[in-house]
């Protein structure tokens, strides 16, 4: 009897250890300790990360050279730092202030421990037609407006992320020419000094699922807002603010 119990305890201990080692990144909580890289790499053009590959930046700072940020001027793919193709991963990268468009995901992408020191127009633009893109670990500071802009379709997962001094952490495009029903799930966020965690278009059936108990908010006005989106470029009207409903689930 004693022998069996001891064996069980040993086995349980071994399982517990392998369990925590299996997925150290995913198990980590959000951190607001931004890396401070000694080295900056200024790219003369946007760098493409080919489909299905992983780019590990080793926590080097990447930018596009001084003067590259022109405030809320809407840029294109050519103004990004990284263009991430379908199924590709970018990890351990710091994006400096001298850039305009941050990272564009052309298909479903994974961004792990990507840090935006000073967001310009926006930090991440999701252009996938369907599928799931995941942003896990890392953080963003000083986004006048949006941090993660979802222009394509499908689903976005944002977890273990820190955001400071921002407009919206996530926005489903309010006035893109081609609109979609978009979904987002948000958990384990440390957010301070911002207007909202998520903004979605209820008229297109968007759904934001936000685990409220996993958010640490300080001076953030709203968890989730709904808008009347359009496809003609007009500024969309806000319908509800900080209200849990069928589209804003928190
Ligand atoms: C927004 O809603 C959350 C959750 O219901 C609440 O805790 C928070 O106080 C609200 N914020 C404001 C600014 O009313």
CATH number at residue 244: 2.160.20.10
d(CA 211, CA 198): 12
Q: Could you tell me the pTM of the whole model?
A: 0.89
pLDDT score at 77: 96
pLDDT score at 154: 98
Ligand 1, atom nearest to 244 Cα: 5
Domain contains 144:
yes
Domain count, the chain: 1
Contact 167, 143 (CB under 8 A): yes
Q: How far is the CA of 242 from the centre of ligand 1 (A)?
A: 6
pLDDT score at 19: 40
Domain contains 80:
yes
Domain contains 200:
yes
Ligand 1, atom nearest to 212 Cα: 4
Domain contains 70:
yes
Residues with CB under 6 A from ligand 1: 221-223, 242
Q: How far is the CA of 237 from the centre of ligand 1 (A)?
A: 21
Q: What is the pLDDT along the chain (250 residues), one digit of tens a residue?
A: 444 444 444 444 444 443 444 444 444 689 999 999 999 999 999 999 999 999 999 999 999 999 999 888 888 999 999 999 999 999 999 999 999 999 999 999 999 999 999 999 999 999 999 999 999 999 999 999 999 999 999 999 999 999 999 999 999 999 999 999 999 999 999 999 999 999 999 999 999 999 999 999 999 999 999 999 999 999 999 999 999 999 999 9
Pocket test residue of 196, 223, 241, 245 for ligand 1, highest count of atoms within 8 A of CB: 223
Domain contains 216:
yes
d(CA 113, CA 30): 10
In this structure, the residue with its CA closest to atom 13 of ligand 1 is 221
pLDDT score at 7: 47
Q: How far is the CA of 217 from the centre of ligand 1 (A)?
A: 10
Domain contains 170:
yes
Q: What is the span of the domain harbouring residue 142?
A: 46-249
Pocket test residue of 196, 242, 243, 249 for ligand 1, highest count of atoms within 8 A of CB: 242
């Amino acid at each position: 009897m004693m022998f069996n119990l001891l064996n069980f305890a040993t086995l349980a201990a071994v399982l517990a250890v392998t369990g925590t080692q299996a997925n150290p990144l995913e198990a980590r909580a959000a951190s607001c300790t931004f890396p401070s890289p000694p080295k900056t790499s200024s790219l003369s053009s946007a760098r493409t990360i080919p489909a299905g590959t992983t780019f590990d930046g080793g926590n080097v700072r990447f930018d596009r050279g001084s003067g590259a940020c022109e405030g809320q001027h809407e840029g294109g793919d050519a103004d990004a730092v990284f263009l991430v193709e379908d199924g590709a991963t970018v990890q351990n990268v710091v994006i400096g202030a001298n850039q305009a468009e941050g990272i564009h995901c052309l298909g479903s992408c994974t961004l792990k421990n990507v840090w935006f020191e000073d967001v310009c127009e926006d930090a991440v633009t999701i252009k996938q037609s369907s599928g799931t893109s995941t942003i896990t670990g890392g953080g963003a500071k000083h986004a006048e407006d949006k941090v993660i802009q979802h222009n394509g379709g499908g689903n976005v997962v944002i977890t273990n992320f820190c955001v400071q001094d921002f407009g919206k952490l996530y926005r489903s495009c309010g006035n893109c020419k081609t609109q979609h029903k978009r979904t987002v799930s948000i958990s384990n966020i440390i957010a301070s000094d911002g207007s909202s965690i998520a903004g979605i278009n209820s008229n297109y059936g968007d759904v934001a699922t936000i685990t409220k108990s996993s958010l640490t908010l300080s001076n953030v006005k709203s968890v989730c807002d709904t808008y009347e989106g359009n496809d003609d470029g007009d500024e969309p009207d806000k319908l509800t603010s900080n209200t849990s409903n069928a589209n804003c689930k928190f």
